[in-house]
Structure 1
């Protein structure tokens, strides 16, 4: 399926891209594009279109950032993509799994939710992204690495400096979540993230001998090394006395058995 996001030409969907007819039109759907979007409300949509020749591969993936609040969403609240083929038939790409991967170029992490591939029809495909909750998503399409392709109904953002800057900004700016009852789930997810961070820190400290376990181990070693030498000598004398006593008992038993014979 689609290659890592670093190999995709980034496209940023705006609040105006609410339907396929006004969203960006990718002239060649086999070129790898990553469409970064933000659903600002539960009833909002974003959309785009892509052109294909007969028999070309439609290669589509759905992702979300591996960050709060999206990682706290229940399955029914995750985004999905409705796809309309040139012949008018439709299908929905819905979340089917959660596969995490790290994108090294932007140093960001994502959860891949679904993949789909089919031989394309001749014409224009329409893609509509929606979700039961406000949040961010990425729709990746195509596998052919080619950057700077002209996109119809779209103006590329002006980038000063590193080309990853808009992606990092998109990743940094979380969408405000709603106040639905399952907001309690988001609180639990935040606590869970903090717990994981604490566990990772604890493991790191233990491995360096600075954590709680490391402190106890070091204390034991210090106590063992700081014992008075006379204490260790008295312990050794006690062991010697026990050994001699046992040897004498064994000798007496042996002599008694000889006399009985």
Structure 2
């Protein structure tokens, strides 16, 4: 009877989506402050924020919107392989969380628990888990490196599709979006980065990959890796993030052709 109960519980957990992976968001080199970094519009939705550094003193940051009384849930993880798992705790990046009222907390790296993520098939180490009752407003997360390293900051625990914004929210206009074409535009002007940044949500999702602009809006709900994987690219130069997400595929850009709008103007 006990074995049956355990089996039923496992089935319920899998069926409820508890085991789903966090939606990936890769911080860019330009995300040097929270204001410049991506905004998680709902900080209770699960995200995996990935930050890589090449030397000491580099900063990367992001923001998360929370309502009063929400659960603020943050985990600090590294991949369980060299060189990351060989670094001393004192050599790993520092994570500071700043509340909407200006109060700051430095995350203390106080554990080293193994964790296997079955969807990406990656072994991680939990180095810290922080939780608190949120105040209403935007929380800032600033990561400062102490040397070459890569870390993952997991935020939120709701396994549902979330929205990630970069820059300012786009203002609705009457202008019709250009129709996607299978080949790059022959125009010498092409599309500007300002146009890409203005289309930074699930309602209108443009991204730059390898020098070309793509309208990924219709791909969001049909992407096999989940809607969050595409939404995290909206409004950005997503070259590095796209290649990171599809590192195990032989031709990661093969499915992009039908979404291409044209070349990015220089």
> Normalising by structure 2, what TM-score?
0.57
- 1:166 equivalent in structure 2: 244
Please identify runs of 4+ aligned residues in structure 1 that moved more than 3 A: 3-6, 154-165, 167-170
The size of the alignment, in residue pairs, is 167
Root-mean-square deviation (CA, aligned residues, Å) is 2.7
1:136 aligns with 2:150: yes
Give me the whole-angstrom Cα distance separating, in 2, the residues matched to 1:49 and 1:113. 21
- 1:111 equivalent in structure 2: 125
Change in Cα spacing, 1:166 to 1:157, as seen in structure 2 (3 Å) is farther
- 1:86 equivalent in structure 2: 100
1:55 pairs with one of 57, 66, 69:
69
- 2:114 equivalent in structure 1: 100
- 1:242 equivalent in structure 2: none
Deviations 1:106-150 (A, max 9, x none): 111111110010000010100001231111100000011112x33
Specify the SS of the correspondent of 1:68: coil
Deviation at 1:7, TM superposition (A): 2.5
Specify the SS of the correspondent of 1:7: coil
Change in Cα spacing, 1:157 to 1:104, as seen in structure 2 (3 Å) is farther
Deviations 1:47-80 (A, max 9, x none): 0000111111100000011111111111100123
Q: Is the 8 A contact 1:5 1:34 kept in 2?
A: no
Give me the whole-angstrom Cα distance separating, in 2, the residues matched to 1:19 and 1:61. 20
1:150 aligns with 2:163: yes
Give me the whole-angstrom Cα distance separating, in 2, the residues matched to 1:144 and 1:76. 31
Give me the whole-angstrom Cα distance separating, in 2, the residues matched to 1:74 and 1:23. 27
Q: How does 1:1-261 map to 2 (within 5 A)?
A: 6-147=20-161, 149-153=162-166, 163=225, 166-167=244-245, 169=247
Give me the whole-angstrom Cα distance separating, in 1, the residues matched to 2:165 and 2:97. 19
Change in Cα spacing, 1:103 to 1:4, as seen in structure 2 (3 Å) is farther
Q: Is the 8 A contact 2:92 2:146 kept in 1?
A: yes
Q: Is the 8 A contact 2:67 2:137 kept in 1?
A: yes
Give me the whole-angstrom Cα distance separating, in 2, the residues matched to 1:5 and 1:67. 23
Give the helix-richer structure, 1 or 2.
1
Q: Which runs of 5+ in 2 are unaligned?
A: 1-16, 167-199, 201-205, 210-215, 230-242, 249-266
Q: Which has the larger radius of gyration?
A: 1
Specify the SS of the correspondent of 1:71: helix
